[in-house]
């Protein structure tokens, strides 16, 4: 099996873990996973080892791999760190100015989000497109800041499931509209090179998301592996 296949398997599994589709505390059955992904056990074993090195999985001899469970505080702290780092990235981009290509990319991403929310309700079929848009939106700003330390540190916070930008709680239409409005306001602030507002908006955007996810953990809509509840994300 090629190296590319191993990378692809690692990427798919990481995405499932980060988005909560594979639950914290869940034991991974290699044969079932290999069948579901349509791959042999060889690239799967390598992918699982890679994710264990990243800290997303825990390995025990004779027991195999289990998705690492994170405490509620880990998740809240992850959001707090993201808010500071990404706020710095937004402020940096506003200060130095964003390239025309980057502005065009962000405008295209905003349109994707607008389209998903234009129905006046949350359609489950739109979740994947919205999640991809959200990941690319945040990443584009981080890349445009051209600060390798910020990029690396943000990458570490993204390894905490439910605190990453892949985590979308696709339940409350008003929450999603409010969140995407933040995206629009942020692009406007960066375009006007309003450093303080760009910093504030992205920090507040991420902190709001963190508060909402914490509430979902409390009422059982999200399970972290340490939660009292074991219900799936609706």
Q: Over the stretch 159-200, which tens digit does the pLDDT of each residue have?
A: 787 788 877 877 889 999 999 999 999 999 999 999 999 999
Q: Average pLDDT of the chain?
A: 88
89 dihedral zone (left: phi>0; alpha: psi -120 to 50; beta): alpha
Residue 58: both structure tokens together: 């825990």
Q: Which domains are seen in the chain, by residue range?
A: 3-67 (1.10.10.10), 72-218 (1.20.120.530)
State pLDDT tens for residues 81-94.
999 999 999 999 99
Render the burial of 44-79: b for 16+ CB within 10 Å, e for the rest: bebbbebbeeeebbeeeeeeebbbbbbebebbbbbb
Residue 82: both structure tokens together: 């993201």
The structure's pTM equals 0.78
Closest CA to 176 of 107, 117, 111, 106: 117
| Residue 229 reports pLDDT greater than 50 | no
């Amino acid at each position: 099996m090629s190296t590319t296949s191993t990378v692809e398997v690692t990427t798919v599994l990481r995405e499932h873990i980060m988005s909560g589709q594979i639950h914290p505390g869940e034991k991974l059955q290699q044969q079932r996973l290999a069948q579901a992904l349509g791959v042999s056990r060889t690239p799967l074993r390598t992918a699982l080892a890679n994710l264990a090195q990243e800290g997303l999985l825990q390995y025990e001899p004779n027991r195999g791999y289990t998705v690492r469970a994170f405490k509620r505080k880990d998740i809240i702290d992850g959001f707090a760190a993201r808010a500071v780092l990404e706020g710095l990235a937004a402020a940096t981009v506003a200060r130095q100015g964003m390239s025309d290509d980057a502005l065009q990319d962000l405008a295209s991403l905003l349109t994707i989000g607008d389209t998903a929310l234009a129905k006046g309700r949350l359609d489950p079929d739109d979740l994947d497109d919205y999640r991809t848009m959200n990941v690319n939106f945040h990443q584009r700003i981080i890349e445009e800041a051209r600060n390798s330390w910020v990029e690396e540190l943000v990458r570490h916070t993204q390894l905490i499931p439910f605190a990453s930008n892949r985590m979308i709680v696709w339940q409350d239409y008003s929450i999603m509209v409010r969140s995407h409005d933040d995206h629009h306001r942020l692009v406007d602030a960066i375009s006007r090179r309003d450093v303080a507002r760009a910093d504030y908006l992205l920090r507040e955007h991420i902190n709001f998301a963190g508060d909402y996810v914490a509430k979902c953990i409390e009422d059982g809509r999200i399970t972290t592996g340490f939660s009292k509840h074991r219900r799936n994300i609706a």
